Structure 1
Amino acid sequence: MIRLGIRLALAGGREAVVRLAIIMVAVAIGTGLLLCTVAGVNAAQTQNERYAWLNTGVVRTDVVGSADPTWWLLRGDYFHGDRIARVDVAATGPHEPVPPGLPRLPGPGEYFASPALARELRSTPLGELADRFPGRLIGTVGAAGLPGPEALVVVAGDTPDHLSRMPDVHQVTRIETLDPSGCSGCRVGTDNDGMVLLLSVVAVALIFPLLMFIGTATRLSAARREQRFAAMRLIGATPPQISLIATVEATLATAAGLIAGFGVFFALRPGMATITFTETAFFTGDLSLGLRDVLAVAIGVPVAAAVAARVALRRVQISPLGVTRRVTPKPPRVWRLTLAVLGVAELAYFVGRRPATTNGQTIAYLSGIFAVMIGMVVAGPWLTMVGARLLAGRARRPAALIAGRRLADNPQAGFRAVSGLMLALFVTAAASGIITTLVDNRGTPVERGSAANVALVQNFWPGTDETVAPPPVLSGVDGTLVVRRNPLFPVDTNSDIGPGLIACSELASRPLFGRCPAGAQVVEVSQDLQGQHDGGSIAPVTVWQASALTLAEVAEQPILSVVVQTDGSAAAVERSRTTLENAYPGRQLPATNGEFQGDFGKQLVQWQQLANVVILASLPIAGCSLAVAVAGGLTERKRPFSMLRLTGARLATLRQVVALESVVPLLLVAALATGMGFLTAHLFLRAQLDYSLHSPGPTYYLLVIGGLAASLGIIASTLPLLRRITGPETARNE
């Protein structure tokens, strides 16, 4: 039967070749995107393994290495808004632990830098970057010690006597190898479990439309093939044999598409490596596939395509005379709404009841979102039927009446054409709503010239007895302010240090940082002078709260932070940062609040890039599915349309019928998918973050309007086929 299925698949002339080619293209695209997703998961894992050594000394384990103890200090620095991972080391013996990517530890006055940082060192004035690191550059960090090709990493040598007196320094005898995904105390790295979850959602969001595309392509010329299969049933073929033959046709194209899909993956891999899904871009080689990955895709894709084809052609199992005795299928029932309603109810239930664990949240939200997606596909025919009956009931012209009656008689066929587009619009609405809300709540860019951009803050660790020297004289800055510790708050390195103090005479010359109330000599301020102290949150203020302490009492307090007001230019910020780092070696490295906020903003950009991948991939796939479905529907109905033309129906009327049969479900599912996408995003945001949905910007609406306009254009492009396929010869030949 398999050989017979292959012969029948190839014996249908140009029509069969076109159908097989369409299926092959769909499978190639789907396989390529699926492989990219799997490779992305593998790359995130490999990148995390390269992050592991940077957490040496931070993660406390009971494992003791055999190397000589080495002083180790991990700090985070910035350059032009990009993070620099800085490690200061000092060996105490000849057998020191060496990080990956280095031939040895640097000695005092030496440092290794990543290739990307080395390029910056060569192209930047010394006072803005190179003067931060002691001595000279003696080499670059190899790929084995870098998370990605653009990572900024420096390993600087120091003396044991000097480095051992620095705060937050550790003695280590081994290099950490624990993956940050399983490390609760790691400072550097990403949650690979979260990335797997995110990429899994991306894969599902892409695979659903592709499976529908395969099913739609498989149904091309379904009526003619059903007649052929019915004839085979009359001569003794059993239903399982017919199903096997139908499945072989789709599997044949799937096999060719699977091979082409690997070519698509290798073509997309270099471009995918440049997309920063995590904190930095990937090495191209990290986007790799294991043997299990290849086998899973090589087996899973053909099986999924065969199932989709078998479901799409399930009508071929009717009785031998069923083709000639076909009647109107039963109308869909309202129970089809059940799954979508349950999915929404599940998401709504967790508003205010967020699961405590990450796994619990994953199960709760993903199951609800997928229930909504699948539920919309199940409910689509019923909604199409309702819309068709409304159209027919209000029809004033023959075209509207015919289109409404035809849709109401077979709403499954009408919805099938736009089902892929519905899922694409749902994913687009949900992704855009979530990203927009996160940006508005947590990633709003700071205004140019604001304190967050121009003020460089040097904080000091609380609870240290070491006296902090007054700030150095900085050239090219507008002023330097000193915030002192508040004696009314206990000093504890493990707790909040409370508000600081500053004299009003100092603050008066820097209005950018607020002002004192009338009559006050000392005010309580936040450590960075950029917001009112309130449980660690920062809110803009203009008037600080007065303090009961005197100027003399404040002058005796240790320094809490130094705030440098620059002109906001990158050069001024970097020069001031270098001066502060050299003035306070081993301390917490200075940064602006804009840079801290920018870290989260970059993460949002990474998520937005993932959302864009889904949107840009799913909309074209949905458009192709729509084109195939409309063209296939015209081919299947050419005899009824030719008979209508013979009875006097005008060609323009038939074109209006075809347009209405496609446009009504299209606009209906567009409204449904967009509304359900926003509702799902809102419930997720309320449950997980207690945010309310914010409307996406104009770009989103232009994208949706453009997608709908393209879909209408696809429908319009098929209308000229009516003249050719509905002539008198069609009715005569059929």
Structure 2
Amino acid sequence: MSARWAADLALGVRLALGGGGARTAWARLALTATGVGLGVVVLLSASSLPHMLAARADRSAARLPVAEAAGGVDPVFAAGRDDEFRGRGLQGYLVQPTGPHPPAAPGVDRLPGPGEAVLSPALAALLQSPEGALLRPRFSQRVIGTIGDTGLTGPNELYFYVGAADVAGQPMAQPVRGFGGEPARRGLDPLEVLLVVLGATTCLVPVFVFVVASTRLAAAARDRRLAAVRLVGADRAQVRRIAAGEALLGAFAGLVAGAGLFLLVRVLVPRITVSAFRGGIFAADVVPDWRLGGPVLLALPVLACAAAVFALRKVVIEPLGVVRRGTRVRRKLWWRLLPLAAGGALVIGRLGTEDARDPFVIAGVVLILVAVPVVLPWLVERVAGLLGGGSPAWLLAVRRLQLDSATAARLVSGIAVVLAGSIALQGVYARAEGDRPPPGNVRVLATAFATGVDGARAFTTALHALPGLAGVPVTTHALLQNAAGEKFSLAVQTCAELAVAGCRDGDVYTSDRLAPGAGLWSGGADRTRPPQWTIPVAGHHVTAQEGAALIVTPGALSTAPGLALSVNATIPAAGPDVVEQVRNLIGWHGRVSSLGTERDDTSALITRVLSVGSVLVLLFAAGSLLIAAWEQLRERRSTLAALMANGVGRGVLARSLQWQLAIPVAVAAVVAVLAGLGLDWLLLTLLVHRPMVADPVAIGILTATAAAAVLLVTAVTLPALWRTASLAHLREE
């Protein structure tokens, strides 16, 4: 039995390679392998995501400073910086070594001293380019080296270690004796989990849809070969095994092609410089998790064989020919609704969990998306049956759809699944964005660290001298503590700002908790030394304070030139150049951050990954549609040539081809929109109890994008149509 199976499968492989002419056979195999190979690339890339994220997280944790004592190591004072340059992340540490043996940071030969810097290769290249002109003032130090791959999360990350002599006195500075901590992690909230689940299913379901469709390419030529096999004595069971062998060859060729394309993707990934992945991706990080990808890849040949055999269920292959439906049977709807009903039931049955990671919820989402290509052939058949007369191109297209609507539905099923998933994904994303507070009018908050009121005045003067910032309000604050460690907030205001009768420069207004003569230190200062500032007796007033324990006029701090002050400026919406000039003005003695536009790193990473994934899957669906359209032209070359011979013009054929895709696309768009909105309602309203958000503009853009992809495919296939419709094809190859 096993020997007969092996022989039949081997015969199927030989027929796939040589049946119908070597050139035609290899062309069919190339089309099938390309389709399966594209699916393999997507699956391998998706299974590489866990390793990629884990590797980035491990390298990020390896450079986190730790304060544990280590023998033979001189501590360094380090202050972390999280900055930006024109929207790109810019991170690193300011360091101040205290001895000749500082701790070793990953990827760095030695930490820089005052006036020195160690930069990532991408940051060094940016500073040398014309684009980095506004960034150079922040990196005037002498560069003594670059950071190796072990100290970076990606090849395009902008990261640095800058040496300075005054780090110890900066807020948030800490003594560091080594590197290698644990990254702070948090769980995903329900909306983020929904984004991940929807994104993953939207990216993967179209792959399996097209893998099934690609194994049915060149079905007519395959059926003719099988009829010839029947003529020489093969029974029906052997025919099915031979068909499985042909599909098996295409699937294995697709695995090889996909593996090669994946290796090419690994080579090209480090060249991605867009902000989709912050810092980029190392090629070494793109490693498939074979626990996830292995079983899926092994299942692809089985899926291909099953699809090929299943496609023969309504085909009668006899020695004298092939019969497809002696009488036309209308498709049944009831069983096509089963995936939709089962998926909805699985989601509704888990309402109490509020967790999209539940396997039943994931299975429900997959079934609902799978229902789209399952229901689509029935709907296309019904719509085509209702269409009537029109132009010759319209009549040709409608008649073709009425004769064979399943092929057209299969062509656009991948686009429909991507569109349905993208609409559902957009709804969850819009809900997550709607939960964020409104940004308000303030765009940027600039904070400078100054020592004493003279430094605060100098910063204020320089800030107001920048273009368009003359009237920007500036406030000065400090966090102080007494000998007992109690903390008090301080605000510096002029008498004009206080608007208090009898106020004179040098007055101090405190709560009853602070008495004249009390010694105070800046937060983090050494309290074993004399106080940095003592509350003066002259001009002291006890009042009920709101928001600050002390309000002092600038003259009261003239005796505390070393007191650490925080100078804050709220900057209205300004151009990127102005923001970068503010960052250059502050330098390493403060920070500039956006207000209302900041996003959590985890949420931002999820959004970036899913955005790139959606675009790639849409390109994959368009590519698969193009391959299938080319194969349809090859199969219909005799018919098209006959039409040309009978006087049908090329323009009529081109418009007919366009209508043959446009009609199923219109039906697919309606199904996808309904499926996407229904999935949103199930997941948002019922599962996580959030109001559903429908953005008609976004849905329209997504639908138009899918339609544009189909129109582009039609345009690309026109040259192939001209060649296929040649009169030379009147004789069957």
Partner of 2:671: 672
Match in the other structure for 2:146: 140
Q: Deviations over 1:348-373 (max 9, x none)?
A: 788xx69565734xx46643432122
Q: Does 1:208 align with 2:200?
A: no
Deviation of 1:277 after TM superposition, in Å, equals 4.0
Change (3 A) 1:112 1:692: same
Assess, with a 3 A threshold, how the Cα gap between structure 1 residues 382 and 210 changes in structure 2: closer, same or farther.
closer
Partner deviation per Cα, 1:566-595 (whole Å, 9 max, x = no partner): 89355543343344355xx4x6x2324377
Cα distance change, pair 694–504 in 1 and its aligned pair in 2 (3 A)? farther
* Cα separation, partners in 2 of 1:135 and 1:244, compared to 1, 3 Å: same
1:85 CA drift (Å):
1.6
Q: Is the 8 A contact 2:117 2:162 kept in 1?
A: yes
* Distance in 1, Cα, partners of 2:662 & 2:585: 66
2:33 to 19, 24, 33: 24
Please state how far the C-alpha of 1:101 moved relative to its aligned partner. 0.5
Looking at structure 2, the residues matched to 149 and 214 of structure 1 have their Cα atoms a distance apart, in angstroms, of: 37
1:156 Cα deviation after fit = 3.3
Which of 255, 259, 262 is the equivalent residue of 2:256?
A: 259
Match of 1:703 in 2: 705
SS across alignment from 1:221: helix
Q: Deviations over 1:595-619 (max 9, x none)?
A: 7369888975654333222222212
Summarize deviations over 1:336-357 as a string: whole Å, max 9, x none.
Answer: 123224435666788xx69565
Deviation (angstroms), 1:226: 4.4
CA distance in 2, matches of 1:423, 1:132: 49
2:85 aligned residue: 79
User: In structure 1, what is the Cα distance between the partners aligned to 2:704 and 2:194?
Assistant: 31
Aligned ranges 1:399-478 → 2 under 5 Å? 412-413=406-407, 415-430=409-424, 451-452=442-443, 455-458=444-447, 470-471=456-457, 472-475=459-462, 476-477=465-466, 478=470
Residue 422 of structure 1: how far off its partner (Å): 2.7
Asked whether the equivalents of residues 622 and 710 of structure 2 are also in contact (C-alpha less than 8 Å), the reply is: no
Contact kept? 2:158, 2:279, Cα under 8 Å:
no
Structure 2 Cα separation of the partners of residues 231 and 703 of structure 1 = 49
Q: CA deviation at 1:390?
A: 3.4
Q: Which residue of 2 aligns with 1:490?
A: none
1:174-323 aligned within 5 A? 174-176=178-180, 178=182, 180=183, 183-184=185-186, 200-201=200-201, 203-217=203-217, 219-231=219-231, 235=233, 237=235, 239=237, 241-273=238-270, 274=272, 275-288=274-287, 299-314=298-313
Structure 2 residue identity aligned to 1:204: L
CA distance, structure 1, for counterparts of residue 194 and residue 151 of structure 2: 23
Whether 2:586 is the aligned partner of 1:580: answer yes
Partner of 2:508: none
Contact 2:415 2:618 in 1 (8 A): no
1:211 Cα offset (Å) = 0.8
Task: Give, as a single letter, the amino acid of the residue that structure 2 aligns with 1:556.
Answer: V
Q: Kindly provide the amino acid, as one letter, of the partner of residue 474 in structure 1.
A: T
> How many Å apart are 1:563 and its aligned residue?
0.8
- Which residue does 1:693 correspond to in 2? 694
Gap runs ≥5 in structure 1: 187-191, 488-492, 509-546
Deviation by residue 1:137-157 (Cα, 9 ceiling, x = unmatched): 322222210112221222234
Could you tell me which residue of structure 2 aligns to residue 6 of structure 1? Answer: 13
Matched with 1:55 is 64
Deviation at 1:231, TM superposition (A): 3.4
* 3-state DSSP of counterpart to 1:151: coil
| Residue of structure 1 in register with 2:157 after alignment | 151
Deviation at residue 224 of structure 1 after TM alignment: 1.8
Distance in 1 (alpha carbons) for counterparts of 2:194 and 2:148? 28
Tell me, yes or no, if structure 1 residue 370 matches structure 2 residue 362: no
Q: Structure 1, residues 523-544: CA drift from partner, whole Å, max 9, x if none?
A: xxxxxxxxxxxxxxxxxxxxxx
Instruction: Write the distance in 2 (CA, Å) between the matches of 1:44 and 1:395.
Output: 56
Tell me the alpha carbon deviations over residues 113-140 of structure 1, each in whole angstroms, 9 at most, x when there is no partner. Answer: 2223334555699996566579643222
Q: Would you tell me which structure has more strand in proportion to its own residues? A: 2
Aligned to 1:359: 357
Q: Deviations over 1:172-194 (max 9, x none)?
A: 5442264x4x83499xxxxx999
Indicate the residue corresponding to 2:515 in structure 1: none
Residue pair 2:445, 2:571 contacting (<8 A) in 1 also: yes
Provide structure 2 residue ranges, at least 5 long, that are not aligned to the other structure: 1-6, 480-484, 500-542, 554-563
Contact 1:44 1:195 (C-alpha < 8 Å) held by counterparts? no
| Superposition pairs of residues 639-650 of structure 1, within 5 angstroms | none
Distance in 2, matches of 1:150 and 1:594, equals 27
Question: In structure 1, how many angstroms separate the alpha carbons of the residues matched to 2:613 and 2:663?
Answer: 31
In structure 2, relative to structure 1, the CA distance for the partners of 1:303 and 1:172 (3 Å cut) is farther
Post-superposition shift, 1:703? 2.5
Distance verdict in 2 for CA 1:329–1:67, change over 3 Å = farther
- Residue identity in the other structure for 2:410: R
1:87 & 1:133 partners in 2: Cα distance? 13
Distance apart, 1:715 and its partner CA: 8.9
Alignment of 1:598-637 (within 5 A): 604=607, 607-629=610-632, 632=635
8 Å contact from structure 1 (residues 114, 140) kept in 2: yes
Q: CA deviation at 1:217?
A: 0.8
Q: State the Cα distance separating 1:23 from its structure 2 match.
A: 1.1
Structure 2 equivalent of residue 532 of structure 1: none
Query: Deviations along 1:236-291, whole A, 9 cap, x unmatched?
Result: 5461x333211222222333343333332344444433054432212344335578
Instruction: Tell me the percent identity.
Output: 24
Does the aligned pair in 1 maintain the 2:226–2:239 contact within 8 Å? no
| CA distance in 2 between partners of 1:430 and 1:685 (Å) | 10
Confirm or deny: 8 A CA contact 1:217 1:625 kept in the other structure: yes
Q: Residues of 2 paired with 1:225 and 1:76: CA distance?
A: 66
Residues 260/458 of structure 1: CA separation in 2 closer, same or farther (3 Å cut): same
CA deviation digits over 1:656-701, x for unaligned, max 9?
A: 9998876654432232124323443565566667561213457545
Contact 1:418 1:626 in 2 (8 A): no
Is 1:460–1:560's contact at 8 Å kept on the other side of the alignment? Answer: yes
The question of whether the paired residues in 2 share the 8 Å contact of 1:432 and 1:700 is answered with: no
Number of the residue aligned with 1:334: 333
**1-structure distance, mates of 2:137, 2:349:** 56
Q: Distance in 2 between matches of 1:167 and 1:561?
A: 13
- Number of aligned residue pairs: give it: 643
Write the letter of the residue equivalent to 2:89.
R
- Partner of residue 97 from structure 1, selected from 100, 103, 119: 103
- In structure 1, the residue corresponding to 2:156 is in which secondary structure? coil
TM-score by length of 2: 0.69
- Partner of 1:384, secondary structure, is helix
Contact map agreement 1:42 1:289 (CA 8 A) in 2: yes
When the two chains are superposed, the root-mean-square deviation of aligned CA atoms in Å is: 5.6
Give TM-score, length-normalised by structure 1: 0.69
Asked if 2 retains the 8 angstrom alpha-carbon contact of 1:685 and 1:691, the reply is: yes
- Does structure 2 retain, via aligned residues, the 8 Å contact 1:214–1:308? no
In structure 2, what is the Cα distance between the partners aligned to 1:400 and 1:117? 58
Q: Is the CA contact 1:343–1:372 (under 8 Å) kept in the aligned structure 2?
A: yes
Partner SS state of residue 696, structure 2: coil
Whether the 8 Å CA contact 1:47–1:148 is kept in 2: the answer is yes
- Give the superposition deviation at 1:381: 3.0
CA separation of 1:556 and 1:407: change in aligned 2, threshold 3 A:
same
Shift of the 561–595 alpha-carbon distance from structure 1 to 2, 3 Å rule, reads: farther
